[in-house]
C-alpha cells in the first residue's frame, strides 16, 4: 500500500547530480513503492531513454509535497513498465516506525569550542547508562575522532560515500562499548560534499537501526555546506559554544543560517569551558533569548562543562576525560548533560546483539 505521498502514477521530477545529464530535470512518475524503495518510470529525452547508471545520485521532487535526495539502485521491470529503483531516504522510513535511533549532530559556530571532546565524553556517559551509542565522524577533511581515541582506521566514511565499503565494514570498537565510524582527513574529494552524499551517509546509518539507540555525528565547525547538509537531515542538533564573545557571536551566526534550512531539527545548547554555572546560565539565557526573539527558534539548554585542566590532560593521553579522570569537575558535567539528554526520550530497551558482536553475527560483504 502507498501512503498519501506516494501514489500510483504520481508525477515527479528527477534531477541527476552527476554524469552527462547532471542537474537536468526529467519528468517521470511513481510505478510502485516497496518497504524501502521507490520504483519510477524510466525518463525520456527527445524521444530517447535517458541512460542513468547505477549509483547515480539524484534529486527527487514530488511537486508541492516533498524533495529528497537518493540514488539509483538498479534498472528493473515491473509488469509492462521499465523502471528505475530508488532508495527511499531514511528520514521518511523512520516516520512509520515506533522505535528508531536518535540521530544528532554536534556542531559549533567556529573551531575551538571543544565539540569533539564533548561528543566523545557524552557518548561515553550515555553508554554507561546502558544505551548503545555510535559516533560518526563527519568533520570531513579534518576528522580527528579516531585520533582522539587512539584508534587506527583502515576504512572511513569516504569509502562509504564512494561505494567501496558499507557502513559495517568501517566500524571500529571504541571505549565503553561505543562504536566509531571514522572520517577521512586530508582527502580533497571529501572537503566538499553534495547534499546527495550527505543523504547517502544518513541512509547508511539507518542500517544500524537494530543495533543502536543514539547516533552522534561530529560535524565540522562553522556554516559550510558540509555542516548544514547534515544538520538538516538529522533529528536533533547540539550546538556547543564557550563564554568567549567571539564564540557566542559565531554561534548566533550559525543559528541564523539554520533558520534557512528546509527542516530545522530540535535544537540543544551546551556551554563549554565555563568558569561556573552562573556564567554558563547567563550565556545560555542570552543566546536562547536572542534566538527566540529575532530568529523564532526555540532552543533547550542542555547543560554546561567546567573549564578543567583534566580535559586537556586526557586529550593529550588520548583517553576520554570521563574514563581517565572520572571524579573531575568536567566528568561530572558530562554525566549531568547525558542525564538531561537521556531523560528527554524514553530509553529504548537494548536489543541483542550488541555492537561488539555485530561483525561476528551479520553477513558482511
pLDDT (average), residues 29-51: 89
pLDDT (average), residues 252-276: 90
Could you give all domains of the chain from N- to C-terminal order, each with its CATH number? 11-88 (2.30.110.10), 94-356 (3.40.50.300)
At 221 the pLDDT is 82
- The pLDDT of residue 284 is above 80: yes
* Residue 292: band (very low, low, confident or very high) from pLDDT cuts 50, 70, 90: very high
What span, in angstroms and rounded, lies between the C-alpha atoms of 32 and 6?
Answer: 8
pLDDT (average), residues 72-78: 86
What is the torsional sign of CA 173, 114, 189, 196? positive
Highest mean pLDDT among 74-78, 86-90, 189-193: 86-90
- pLDDT top residue among 4 and 97: 97
- Helix, strand, or coil (residue 288): helix
pLDDT > 70: what percent of the chain? 90
Residue position matching grid coordinates 527542516: 263
Q: Are strands 11-16 and 57-62 parallel, antiparallel or unpaired?
A: antiparallel
- The pLDDT of residue 355 is above 70: no
- pLDDT top residue among 359 and 255: 255
- The pLDDT of residue 353 is above 80: no
User: Among 109, 150, 116, 110, which Cα is nearest to 135's?
Assistant: 116
At 18 the pLDDT is 87
Highest mean pLDDT among 32-36, 52-56, 154-158, 271-275: 271-275
For the chain, the farthest-separated pair of C-alpha atoms sits apart, in whole angstroms, at: 71
At 358 the pLDDT is 57
At 363 the pLDDT is 44
Q: What is the pLDDT of residues 9-19, one digit of tens each?
A: 889 999 999 88
- The pLDDT of residue 26 is above 70: yes
At 275 the pLDDT is 95
- The pLDDT of residue 74 is above 80: yes
Q: How remote is the C-alpha of 249 from its chain's centroid?
A: 24
Angstrom distances, CA of residue 279 to CA of 236, 254, 276, 306: 25, 22, 6, 10
Q: How remote is the C-alpha of 277 from its chain's centroid?
A: 30
What span, in angstroms and rounded, lies between the C-alpha atoms of 276 and 307?
Answer: 8
At 223 the pLDDT is 79
- pLDDT top residue among 45 and 345: 45
Amino acid at each position: 500500500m502507498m501512503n498519501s505521498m506516494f501514489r500510483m502514477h504520481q508525477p515527479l521530477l528527477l534531477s541527476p547530480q552527476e554524469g552527462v545529464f547532471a542537474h537536468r530535470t526529467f519528468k517521470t512518475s511513481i510505478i510502485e513503492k516497496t518497504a524501502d524503495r521507490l520504483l519510477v518510470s524510466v525518463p525520456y529525452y527527445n524521444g530517447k531513454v535517458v541512460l542513468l547508471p547505477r549509483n547515480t545520485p539524484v534529486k527527487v521532487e514530488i511537486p508541492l509535497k516533498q524533495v529528497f535526495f537518493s540514488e539509483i539502485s538498479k534498472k528493473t521491470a515491473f509488469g509492462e513498465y521499465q523502471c528505475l529503483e530508488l532508495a527511499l531516504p531514511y528520514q521518511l522510513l523512520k516516520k512509520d516506525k515506533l522505535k528508531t535511533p536518535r540521530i544528532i549532530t554536534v556542531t559549533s559556530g567556529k573551531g575551538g569550542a571543544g565539540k569533539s571532546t564533548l561528543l566523545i565524553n557524552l557518548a561515553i556517559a550515555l553508554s554507561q547508562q546502558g544505551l548503545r551509542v555510535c559516533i560518526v565522524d563527519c568533520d570531513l577533511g579534518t576528522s580527528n575522532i579516531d585520533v582522539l581515541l587512539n584508534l587506527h582506521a583502515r576504512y572511513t566514511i569516504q569509502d562509504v560515500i564512494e561505494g567501496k565499503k558499507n557502513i559495517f565494514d568501517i566500524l571500529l570498537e571504541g571505549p565503553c562499548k561505543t562504536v566509531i565510524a571514522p572520517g577521512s582527513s586530508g582527502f580533497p574529494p571529501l572537503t566538499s560534499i553534495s547534499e546527495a552524499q550527505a543523504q547517502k551517509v544518513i541512509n547508511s546509518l539507518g542500517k544500524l537501526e537494530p543495533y543502536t539507540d543514539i547516533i552522534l555525528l561530529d560535524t565540522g565547525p562553522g556554516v559550510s555546506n558540509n555542516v548544514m547538509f547534515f544538520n538538516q537531515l538529522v533529528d536533533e542538533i547540539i550546538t556547543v559554544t564557550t563564554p568567549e564573545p567571539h564564540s557566542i557571536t559565531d554561534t548566533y551566526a550559525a543559528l541564523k543560517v539554520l533558520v534557512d534550512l528546509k527542516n530545522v531539527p530540535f535544537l540543544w545548547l551546551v556551554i563549554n569551558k565555563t568558569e561556573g554555572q552562573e556564567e554558563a546560565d547567563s550565556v545560555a539565557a542570552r543566546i536562547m533569548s536572542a534566538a527566540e526573539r529575532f530568529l523564532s527558534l526555540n532552543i533547550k539548554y542542555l547543560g554546561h562543562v567546567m573549564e578543567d585542566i583534566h580535559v586537556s590532560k586526557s586529550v593529550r593521553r588520548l583517553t576520554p576525560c570521563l574514563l581517565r579522570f572520572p571524579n573531575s569537575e568536567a566528568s561530572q558535567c558530562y554525566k549531568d548533560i547525558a542525564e538531561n539528554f537521556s531523560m528527554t526520550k524514553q530509553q529504548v530497551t537494548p536489543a541483542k546483539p550488541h555492537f561488539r558482536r555485530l561483525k561476528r553475527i551479520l553477513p558482511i560483504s
